[in-house]
């Protein structure tokens, strides 16, 4: 074994793909998840699972028992609209929850923490595109503020206690296992609607753009971040390409062969108009770049949805 890793949020969409990648690469993996949005169906049978909330005192017992070498921190409140409706809850999960984990990392001398940041939410309305890591961070939602605030604590724990970290600021991640009942994950939401022969909704005019990165590329970025000896800092993880929601819907129509049209409904506050992430630094320092193009990614996600439907 290469080392022991606790993955918080490891029963969720992105976390579970990271768990699979770690296990394939001979790590001993421990999953901590309260299953608020995650599912036991996503759990890798080779990982040990603790159904615990990251803000609960039982977390200390997990660290005491497992004594991890590394922590990959993905448990979070991930819903932008919920963050606007319940900002205190969002801050407890995303800021206080991260501090609780950092304190345990400090107590148990964890060598490095990998943190799931949000490149889609931390920069706010872009001053230029694609945004690099030096772009000013002016989040326009409580979620964006809480996810970005937690980054400062990682910096602080490196400064005060020399605890290594890497922040991976994801763009819009998509792929198999993304929950279509959530608010993020427009690709899953569209595919799920089409599967049920329902018209998908597009917020606003549909010309808003996002940078879509496939989940297996994101899992590989986590592995590289864990293994690479690069200095503690934040890296963008995306493709640098903008795709509008209208373009995306056309691609999904092509891929699935549906003749359903989308219904346009009111735009949502707290969401940026355009975003894409420049990822040159991740290429230089981590040797990471996206490998799965959006057409292939949509096809693989669509195939997973069809297979899941057959199994349900
Ligand atoms: N999906 C994206 O496009 C995207 C983009 C940027 C950043 N992120 C970040 O990536 C991480 C994973 O997101 P995801 O899309 O896989 O969402 P997800 O909801 O599938 O995963 C989050 C997981 O954390 C668990 N969880 C939540 N609160 C918890 C708590 N208090 N204690 C223990 N477990 C808890 C949930 O049950 C779930 O399994 C999050 O930190 C999110 O902010 C996601």
Report all structural domains of the chain as residue ranges with CATH numbers, in order of start: 4-174+213-238 (3.40.50.720)
- Residue 305 — very low, low, confident or very high, per pLDDT cuts 50/70/90? confident
Q: Ligand 1 within 6 A of 54 CB? A: yes
Joined tokens for residue 23:
């296990």
CA of 12 to the centre of ligand 1 (A): 6
Kindly name the residue from 27, 123, 143, 212 that is annotated as catalytic.
143
pLDDT at 311: 73
66 sits in which H/E element: helix 58-66
CA of 259 to the centre of ligand 1 (A): 33
Joined tokens for residue 124:
């706010």
Top mutation candidate among 8, 10, 12, 80 for ligand 1, by most atoms within 8 Å of CB? 12
pTM: 0.97
The pLDDT tens digits for 273-284 are 999 999 999 999
The pLDDT tens digits for 182-197 are 777 899 999 999 988 9
Which residue puts its alpha carbon closest to atom 32 of ligand 1? 53
Comparing 85-99, 130-144, 152-166, 294-308, the range with the smallest average pLDDT is: 294-308
Which residue in this structure is represented by tokens 């000896």?
A: 229
Q: Ligand 1 within 6 A of 222 CB? A: no
128 is catalytic: no
Query: How far apart are the two ends of the chain, measured CA to CA in Å?
Result: 35
Q: CA angle, 167 as apex, 162 and 172 as ends, to 5°?
A: 170
């Amino acid at each position: 074994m290469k080392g022991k890793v606790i993955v918080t949020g490891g029963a969720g969409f992105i976390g579970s793909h990271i768990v699979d990648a770690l296990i394939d690469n001979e790590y001993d993996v421990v999953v901590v998840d309260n299953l608020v949005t995650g599912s036991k169906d996503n759990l890798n049978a080779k990982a040990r699972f603790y159904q615990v909330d990251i803000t609960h005192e039982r977390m200390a017992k997990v660290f005491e028992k497992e004594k991890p070498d590394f922590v990959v921190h993905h448990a979070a409140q991930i819903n932008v609209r919920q963050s606007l409706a319940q900002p205190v809850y969002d801050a407890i999960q995303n800021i206080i929850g991260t501090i609780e984990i950092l304190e345990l990392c400090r107590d148990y001398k964890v060598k490095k923490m990998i943190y799931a940041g949000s490149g889609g939410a931390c920069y706010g309305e872009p001053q230029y595109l694609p945004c690099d890591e030096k772009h000013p961070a002016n989040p326009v939602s409580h979620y964006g503020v809480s996810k970005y605030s937690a980054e400062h604590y990682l910096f602080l724990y490196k400064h005060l206690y020399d605890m290594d970290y890497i922040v991976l600021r994801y763009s819009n991640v998509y792929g198999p296992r993304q929950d279509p009942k959530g608010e993020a994950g427009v690709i899953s939401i569209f595919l799920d609607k089409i599967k049920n022969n329902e018209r998908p909704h597009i917020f606003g005019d549909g010309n808003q753009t996002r940078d879509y990165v496939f989940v297996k590329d994101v899992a590989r970025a986590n592995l590289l971040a864990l293994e690479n000896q690069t200095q503690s800092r934040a890296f963008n993880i995306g493709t640098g390409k903008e795709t509008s929601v209208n373009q995306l819907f056309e691609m999904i129509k092509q891929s699935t062969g549906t003749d359903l049209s989308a219904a346009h409904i009111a735009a949502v506050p707290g969401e940026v108009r355009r975003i894409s992430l420049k990822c040159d630094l991740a290429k230089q320092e981590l040797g990471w770049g996206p490998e799965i193009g959006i057409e292939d990614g949509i096809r693989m996600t669509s195939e997973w949805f069809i297979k899941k439907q057959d199994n349900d």
